[in-house]
C-alpha cells in the first residue's frame, strides 16, 4: 500500500512521463488543459505525476476491441 505522502521517487516530472509514454511534453500540457491524462500535482509552478496515478490511468486505457466506447 502506498503512503499518502509521496516521496520524490514516487513523483515523475512531465519530461519523465513524456519519455515513458513516448509523447511530447506539449501533449501532456494539452491533456492537462483538456482534463485528459493521468492526475497530476501542482507544486507552485511545477507539475508532477504520482507513479501510482499514472499506472491507474494506464490500466483504465486498456481496451479489448476497437468497438469499445472511448470516453
Say if 70 falls within a structural domain.
no
Expressed as residue numbers, the domain containing 26 is 11-60
Residue 48, classed as helix, strand or coil, is strand
Q: Do the beta carbons of residue 45 and residue 37 sit within 8 Å?
A: no
Say if 56 falls within a structural domain.
yes
At 5 the pLDDT is: 66
CA distances 9 to 2, 13, 17, Å, are 12, 10, 13
Residue 62 confidence (pLDDT) above 70: yes
Work out the average pLDDT over 39-50. 96
Say if 16 falls within a structural domain.
yes
Q: CA–CA separation, 68 vs 31, rounded Å? A: 21
More confident residue, 20 or 1: 20
Q: Do the beta carbons of residue 12 and residue 51 sit within 8 Å?
A: yes
State the pTM of this model: 0.78
Say if 18 falls within a structural domain.
yes
Domains of the chain: total: 1
Say if 66 falls within a structural domain.
no
Work out the average pLDDT over 27-33. 97
Per residue in 2-24, pLDDT (tens digit) is: 555 666 679 999 999 999 999 99
For 47, phi then psi, to 5°, come to -110, 135
Amino acid at each position: 500500500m502506498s503512503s499518502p505522502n509521496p516521496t520524490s521517487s514516487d513523483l515523475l516530472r512531465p519530461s519523465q512521463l513524456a519519455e515513458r509514454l513516448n509523447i511530447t511534453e506539449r501533449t501532456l500540457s494539452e491533456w492537462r488543459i483538456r482534463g485528459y491524462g493521468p492526475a497530476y500535482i501542482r507544486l507552485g509552478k511545477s507539475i508532477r505525476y504520482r507513479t501510482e496515478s499514472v499506472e491507474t490511468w494506464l490500466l483504465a486505457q486498456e481496451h479489448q476491441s476497437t468497438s469499445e466506447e472511448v470516453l
